[in-house]
Structure 1
Amino acid sequence: MYIPSQSPKFEAQPTYRVHVKLITWKWKDFSANAYQLPDGSIAMSYRQMALKVCQNKNAAKEFVLKANLPQIPVRFKNSLSGTLVPLASVADYWKHVDFSNPKTIQAFLGWRAIKEYLAEVEQRPFCPWPNQPFLILKAVYNLNILTDKPLLRVLALAQPDGQREYRIEITSALALIGVPPQWLNKCRSKTRTKLHNQGFTGVQLTQYILESQYPTLISPRESQQLASSNTISLRDCLIIWEYFAERQSSCAIACLKALAAESFEHRIAKVATSREPKKVLQIPNPLRLTYNLENFYQSWQILQLIINHIPQNIFWKDRNSVYLGCNQNFARLAGIETPEQIVGKTDYDLPWRKEEANWFRQCDARIINNNAPEYGIVETQLQADGQRPLVNTTKIPLLDVEGNVTGLVGIY
């Protein structure tokens, strides 16, 4: 699951108008109407940021212009153009209102909520682009670029068409040149703009499935071993190293010199030749149920298509009440665009009220601890469109092949 930076890249391109979506932004007990940008970041119109603290939108606009705060040109669903203000700037305005009018309790609660939210976002990986469908992990190559330095971790991923794609884990790319893993989160917008101008495409949350010991076969049990990593392309890795080499980083310079002598592709091919397993022509145990990888990928797509078109709302979680997936109907009620974006979120990250989230998690714990389904759980749910209907929920524990509870599935 990804949370992007709250400093949208669109500030560097003021003439580019992006499409936005109306949502209810919520942090703990505070909520407000807002817009979500394509990269997932939150922004508000002058009217939204003013009405929430009982002010006039012209006063909000005047404050933003005088303070020279960032603005984002956007295009709404009705094709009309407009301007939004990033969440960090909204916090500055609400803090100003709070100090000038101490009776405005909403201003105090609002800027405090935004500050807490942004502080937590800074600790999460910088992933400004949507998640991709999971791929098949063929191999992991640890490349020794510099002696006595961390190894560079490269993932070899198989595309549905059989082609391979190589992705580098961002933490290993930064660790090799002695840069903290949170550097991309905390660097200035000017730095990000420079990287993008050089062709940097960004960090991507790559979801993949762990392949079995046989290169062309995968068993049903092993097919459940899903994983994810924040990765960058080979070219993006070079762009980051070139950026630090220009700033006289000795490790970055050494890495570029090493790759000038022997490229990424040559190093990967050399390691792959020594590690690539031989093709298995037959299954050692004919009673063992196996699937061809391409057929499994197609079956997964068909299953996801069926789940997305069921009229009910479906979700599933792990033992800690962390979401592992949902269908499209549930994603819409939760205020997210695609089911993939819910992976890794909890009920506190969704539009539900705090007491509702607490109740949902209590029910989850009871079902998981008792290993018993519960039917007809009547509860309220504050949804992304502002409605709060009564829902009748059924929750069933999920079991592994040994009968242990691994999570639960819910439907209403």
Structure 2
Amino acid sequence: MMIWSILSVFVYILVVNQTSSTLDQRLVTYAERLREAFVHFPLPEQGYEEHLPSPPHQVGGTTYVPYLHELNEIAGSDHAFQWAVWRASNWKLLSSGDVSPTLERVLIAYAKKGNLKNLFNLHVGGQTYRFMQINSQHTGLVLQIFEDVSAQREVFQRLLIMLLFGGVAAVILSILGGYSLGLWTLRPLMAARRREREFTADLSHELRTPLTVMATNLELLLRHVDEPLAQHLPWIEGIYRETKRMTRMTEEILDMARLESGGFVELVDTDLSELADEVFALYEPVAEEKGLTLTVALEKDVHCMGDRTRLRQILFILLDNAIKYTDRGTIALQTQVRGNVAEIVVRDTGIGIRAEILPRVTERFVRAEPSRQRTTSSGLGLSIASRIVEAHQGRLFLKSTPGVGTEVKVRLPKSSA
């Protein structure tokens, strides 16, 4: 508003002053020419009408003489101006055009005041004139030059209205723009606050179940303190199982916090094929115990710049999920190079992921199949894997068909070594 106000005042004053200055300069120039004209064509003395080639005619109190055309030519033929000449002896009027009785009364009043050096605005009958007056001692005449500037004043008023409306529009647009810019600027903060609320709600929901199980089992134990401990091993096992689950969830949450803060990622040249082979050896017995076939296809020298511990964690998460959500069939682990990208691919023939859940499976506490593995899965695995991939400047792709299986691809920048 301050900038617009200052600019509007500057533009308005500049336009008004420039227009007025140009008009005044033209008016002064015209007055000088007209005064010279009347020096060459002085009005005769009394009875001058008798010596004219044709008699003059009158409209009101104004006398028109035949040589007005010659006077205007000498004065510069500027028909934008009007002039009036008074003889001081009898206050007779000679004019360049029609002068209304009201205007004539005002003009004669100013003529009788004497010499007026300054230009000023004259308001007569709803019209505005720019006016100046010169007294000629040589001819005994009072010369008045004026121009109707009502149109210019209307232009100034329209300019002022446009600037005012422009200011109002600028204020409205500034408010809307500022509001939109504020929302855009605050979007990351608002998203962070929303994620924080969602995380708190999800975490409280996840902790409620194990805490409830542990509290229930402890109450049952307290009710049977006189009985042998061996009779209540299922209750103790339930407490132990939920304690391990909460411990694992806490560690995963800490991992998420570290990854999101940008820590715990040390990039060094890493052979993905070698790392995948080590993890394959660990998970092959787990897959065989569940009756699954774990296959591996590893290209040689698949290198990337990465944190070996974190990349191992990605492989653990992907293979753990594949075994957990596959009841029968095959799980394939593959490493390969595609251009400047090193890839880790894990495919399974498991239950798959529903289309409505697939875009959200990398969010916290979202499970591929919420109704299954409720007590063993925290829903943080793929979220952690996604954060690790992002920390390595890579990308994670998921493709899944319910009842057919899931394919997860991790693409990491290839090492230059």
TM-score between the two structures when normalised by the length of structure 1 = 0.16
Q: Which is helix-richer, 1 or 2?
A: 2
Q: Which structure's CA Rg is the greater one?
A: 2
- Greater relative contact order (Cα < 8 A, sep 6+): 1
